[in-house]
Amino acid sequence: MVEDSSSVAVLDTAAGVWCDTKSVVTAPRTGRYSADAAGGDAAVELTRRCRHAAAAVGDLIFIYGGLRGGVLLDDLLVAEDLAAAETTTAASHAAAAAAVSNVLAGGLPGRYGFSDERTRQSIPEAVPDGAVMLGNPVAPPVNGDMYTDISTENAMVQGSRRMSKGVEYLVEAAAAEAEAISATLAAAKARQVNGEIELPDRDRGAEATPSGKQISSLIKPDSSVSNSSAPAGVRLHHRAVVVAAETGGALGGLVRQLSIDQFENEGRRVSYGTPESATAARKLLDRQMSINSVPKKVIAHLLKPRGWKPPVRRQFFLDCNEIADLCDSAERIFSSEPSVLQLRAPIKIFGDLHGQFGDLMRLFDEYGSPSTAGDIAYIDYLFLGDYVDRGQHSLETITLLLALKVEYPHNVHLIRGNHEAADINALFGFRIECIERMGERDGIWAWHRINRLFNWLPLAALIEKKIICMHGGIGRSINHVEQIENLQRPITMEAGSIVLMDLLWSDPTENDSVEGLRPNARGPGLVTFGPDRVMEFCNNNDLQLIVRAHECVMDGFERFAQGHLITLFSATNYCGTANNAGAILVLGRDLVVVPKLIHPLPPAISSPEASPERHIEDTWMQELNANRPPTPTRGRPQVANDRGSLAWI
């Protein structure tokens, strides 16, 4: 036992009462665990719940255990008797040091606590003799503070340091494990041998006082507390904060501080297991980490408006796994979008590209590109379909647009064209390009995966509820925008209704003088629609303009129905024979539409495209376009019984 000025008592931390070794309450305080609640028998009630002891050593009180409500804690608490602290002299500190020596010699079983110097800085004027003032609970450093007050009273009073009779503050330290405490005691005993006894602070570093000075809690025999400063360096706190896993019950949400020496798994390392499983796991991890990098890789490789050159080698730079990752990311975005996009101005609108990636780069170079160095921050981009077929670089075109969609999902918008269908792009070049540039097995796989993505593309876009954009037209069946909105995706061309066929395949009649519905030279079952249909549709839906693509026009854009419909085509010199210009439409915030054009480039005299190797490699596309001539430029008559036309096919 601790002798002389020390004593032994029992603390009820829930009721805030002290009792002696015979369970007689010495500092009564009402509460739900008071003597009244125990039927008048305070000794029985307190003895039943409070079996942990406390020792007073000078002005410090060390409590082993306590209660939180009805839960018995295995904590080490520290309190301070402020009245005793006022009268403590150097001699009393020496006596306290001697008492600690008795503790080290085995006088008090249990654990060793840490003093809190903060409560010594300010003492209230009216503190009766014998009143016990407890230090405030602390948490690990927060926002640079050495300590953070987490006491229940402080939470209710918001920082108030009100002092009153009895126990006001409870210091709740962590459940320090026996191993860590034994190490602390051993260190203290070693220092005692050297002639000094140290009562370390909570994180064994110097503690900040309100004056800014660093105070070390070092007590020497026959001397007062030393005020020597000790610089604080980078250190690992000796306790970790743990929140109880239980969501309910007495321990629900309880925050504990545990010694870092307690964690049994600290020395264990997470491994992949066997070498075989390690290789597979690393590949899976690399695959998952690379998904987000594929769009950036594509953009970095392809988005070069001024510096892009056709590759000398036709081998495509992405493999089928990377294309799959890109399609997966884009498909998740398309599947979350409606069939009719709701867009706002300002916006740029692009017509058919048909694999002519060089024209896309020229348009980006002349009129701004979708990048942080370009104008993506203040204007959107809308593409009206037909990204593949006919041209030399369908893979570059579609992969860059998909990468831009993933990178800027709210600024780049794609809708479907009639060539975004497997049965069409299998005939007009895209399938052949995939095989020729990726190999037969990977090429066919990539072609199938991209076409599955095409089935998720939105079908139209409504800008400011005044302009509707689509690929083909309104045909004979589309009278209201809701008909397009009701088309459910994913949808294949074979499973589509007449609404989908009209939306992707129909054309305006030859000019404004031809009204009504006429057969379309593209094939049986397809129609052309006159200016009267355009005006009827606009009136039914309170629209002012229809923007569509689908037909090559000589100036890149062409008006119809007195300007209520515009045909837009962005690829120049279509199939190498049309000699047409390409255009985009720029719609400003004031809803003014500005066409912007690029003209065909003259054939390059010496370039990779004109080299003998390039000529041989490009033969397959030239032969395909010769065998299957494109639809004539709008305004030019269709050759009768053309066996290479889509109508004949």
**pLDDT tens-digit map of 253-286:** 565 666 756 665 555 544 445 566 666 666 655 5
Q: Is the pTM of this model over 0.85?
A: no
Q: Which residues contact 82 (CB under 8 A, 6 or more apart)?
A: 59, 119, 120, 123, 127, 131, 133
pLDDT value at residue 496: 76
pLDDT value at residue 159: 43
Per the CB < 8 A criterion, the answer to whether 133 and 163 are in contact is: yes
Task: Give the position of tokens 């049986």.
Answer: 524
For the cut 80, the answer to whether the pLDDT of residue 528 exceeds it is yes
Left, alpha or beta for 212 (phi > 0: left; psi -120 to 50: alpha)?
left
Q: With H, G, I as helix, E, B as strand and everything else as coil, classify residue 500.
A: helix
pLDDT value at residue 633: 73
Which residue did the predictor score with more confidence, 177 or 465?
465
CA atoms within 13 A on the CB side of 402: 32
Q: Which residues contact 234 (CB under 8 A, 6 or more apart)?
A: none
Instruction: Give the C-alpha distances (Å, rounded to integers) separating 445 from 166, 217, 241, 302, 512.
Output: 80, 73, 52, 22, 45
For the cut 90, the answer to whether the pLDDT of residue 604 exceeds it is no
Quickly state the pLDDT bin for 339 (edges 50, 70, 90). Answer: very high
Quickly state the pLDDT bin for 119 (edges 50, 70, 90). Answer: very low
For the cut 70, the answer to whether the pLDDT of residue 460 exceeds it is yes
pLDDT value at residue 603: 77
Query: CA angle at residue 225 from 221 to 226, to 5 degrees?
Result: 105
Instruction: Give the C-alpha distances (Å, rounded to integers) separating 630 from 191, 355, 577, 578, 633.
Output: 95, 14, 9, 9, 8
Is 413 catalytic? The answer is no
Report the C-alpha gap between 576 and 356 in whole angstroms.
10
Q: With H, G, I as helix, E, B as strand and everything else as coil, classify residue 438.
A: helix
pLDDT value at residue 61: 72
Task: State percent of the chain over pLDDT 90.
Answer: 44
pLDDT value at residue 261: 67
* Average pLDDT, integer, range 444-468: 97
Give the range among 47-61, 91-105, 143-157, 442-456 with minimum mean pLDDT. 143-157
* Among 426, 341, 424, CA closest to 384: 341
* Average pLDDT, integer, range 306-311: 90
pLDDT value at residue 135: 43
* Among 120, 624, 646, 211, CA closest to 418: 646
Please pick, among 393, 419, 471, 550, the residue that the annotation labels catalytic: 419
Task: State percent of the chain over pLDDT 70.
Answer: 49
- Mean pLDDT for all residues in the chain: 73
Count the Cβ atoms, other than its own, within 10 Å of residue 180: 19
Which residue did the predictor score with more confidence, 86 or 4?
86
* Identity of residue 291: I
Q: With H, G, I as helix, E, B as strand and everything else as coil, classify residue 184.
A: helix
pLDDT value at residue 6: 45
Give the range among 318-327, 473-482, 488-497 with minimum mean pLDDT. 488-497
Report the C-alpha gap between 457 and 405 in whole angstroms.
12
Instruction: Give the C-alpha distances (Å, rounded to integers) separating 525 from 182, 362, 476, 498, 551.
Output: 91, 37, 11, 9, 18
Which residue did the predictor score with more confidence, 62 or 414?
414
For the cut 70, the answer to whether the pLDDT of residue 596 exceeds it is yes
393-421 pLDDT tens trace: 999 999 999 999 999 999 999 999 999 99
Quickly state the pLDDT bin for 494 (edges 50, 70, 90). Answer: confident
Per the CB < 8 A criterion, the answer to whether 117 and 203 are in contact is: no
Numbers of helices and strands, H then E, in the chain = 18, 28
Quickly state the pLDDT bin for 73 (edges 50, 70, 90). Answer: low
Per the CB < 8 A criterion, the answer to whether 581 and 597 are in contact is: yes
Report the C-alpha gap between 55 and 109 in whole angstroms.
10
pLDDT value at residue 495: 81
Report the C-alpha gap between 528 and 518 in whole angstroms.
5
179-189 pLDDT tens trace: 666 676 677 67
pLDDT value at residue 121: 44
Give the range among 66-80, 202-216, 270-284, 623-637 with minimum mean pLDDT. 202-216
Give the range among 155-159, 391-395, 584-588, 593-597 with minimum mean pLDDT. 155-159
| Angle between helices 90-104 and 178-193 in degrees, nearest 10 | 120
